[in-house]
Amino acid sequence: MSRPEEISPPEIFYGDVEASKYTANSRIKSIQSQMTQRALELLALPEDDTAFVLDIGCGSGLSGELLDEAGHVWVGVDIAPSMLEVALEREVEGDLFLHDIGQGFGFRPGTFDGAISISVIQWLLNADSASHSPPQRLNRFFTTLHSALKNPSRAIFQFYPNSDDQVQMIVTAAQRAGFGGGLVVDYPNSKKARKMYLCLMVGQQEIPKALDGTTDGMEVDGQGLGMEKRREEIRNERKRRKDAAGGGKKGKRGKTEVDAKEWILKKKDLYRARGKEGVPRDSKYTARKRKTYF
């Protein structure tokens, strides 16, 4: 089954029919509630004080209702008009804005005590038009979000990445914007219960533990984000492959000929950095030479 973000842009996918179905589905409401509750735990807002929270991709206000129950005041932004219409019909308490988060935010610096986002950020990885560049949209999003948050504060994103490359693109953009923090993966060994949360922090804070009592191995202190270890592993693997290929061969004119597999890997890395979709994963079959029988 295709993922929603692969079918059409969110403002089109969540039309009148889909927005109503999404909000009325009891299973979706239950899952949304569980993930929002977990996001609020990770957000770690003061229990004895009212916080001002930004709900990114608020949809029809399902997460906002839990913010209300927790005694917080919230503002929601979403790109789908039909979702916001359903939220208005449900008379949610938060203020609602129709907005494309890929264009960044225009809130005053230090406005919010925290931010949450449920199943939204992966939509920024798709280039829905010729003018859309996922790396640029992520950069605007995280830079303006960092400015809109108080110091110290947190932003919690539950999301469904399609690959490790997508995770790396998101985390790298957040790091460049000035965030600390890392990934928290609940029940990493369970296909059904596994949930990934990006816990971003403004100011020095300790990253929380996953629900199974451990971390995903991607956590770091406030100096950077957890994909640095993964990037180091990738660099080491690239170096190993290059050494195994003998560092290239000398051509007729004395120039070093780039190994075919190395060239392909570099090209794929370039495509991923540009946000191109459908780039195949690296495997033992990359640049494989096929046998000829004649």
Per residue in 128-171, pLDDT tens? 777 789 999 999 999 999 999 999 999 999 999 999 999 999 99
Closest C-alpha among 133, 138, 134, 135 to residue 117: 138
CATH number of the domain enclosing 166 = 3.40.50.150
51 and 183 housed in the same domain:
yes
Among 226, 261, 285, identify where a domain stops: 226
Are 196 and 265 part of one and the same domain?
A: no
Predicted pLDDT of residue 23: 95
* 188 and 266 fall within a common domain: no
The predicted structure's pLDDT at residue 215: 46
Q: Are strands 52-56 and 112-118 parallel, antiparallel or unpaired?
A: parallel
Q: Please report how many Cα atoms fall inside a 13 Å half-sphere around the Cα of residue 77, on the Cβ side.
A: 19
Give the model confidence (pLDDT) of 89-106 as tens digits. 999 999 999 999 999 999
DSSP 8-state code for residue 216? -
In a domain, 237, yes or no: no
pLDDT of 59 reads: 97
Do 256 and 131 belong together in one domain?
no
At residue 153, φ and ψ (nearest 5 deg) are -165, 175
Which pLDDT score is estimated for 234? 62
Question: What pLDDT was estimated at residue 292?
Answer: 57
Say whether both 115 and 259 belong to one domain. no
Count of domains forming the chain? 2
Residues in Cβ contact with 123 at an 8 Å cutoff, skipping those fewer than 6 apart: 5, 10, 57
pLDDT tops 70 at residue 50: yes
Burial class (CB in 10 A: 0-12, 13-18, 19+), 32: buried
pLDDT value at position 263? 83
Q: Which domain, by its residues, includes 276?
A: 245-294
Q: For residue 263, give the nearest of 286, 293, 279 by alpha carbon.
A: 286
On whether both 206 and 249 belong to a single domain, the answer is no
Average pLDDT over residues 46-56: 93
| The two structure tokens encoding residue 17 | 């029919």
For residues 30 and 176, membership in a common domain is answered with yes
- What's the mean pLDDT when you consider all of the chain? 85
Q: Are residues 31 and 147 in the same domain?
A: yes
The residue that leads in pLDDT, 200 or 255, is 200
Say yes or no: 130 and 265 in one domain.
no
Q: Which of 172, 196, 226 is the last residue of a domain?
A: 226
Is residue 250 within 8 A of residue 256, CB to CB? The reply is yes
pLDDT for 180 equals 94
The answer to the question of residue 234 being in a domain is no
Q: Which long-range contacts (CB under 8 A, 24 or more apart) does 234-240 make?
A: 238/265
Q: What is the pTM of this model?
A: 0.73
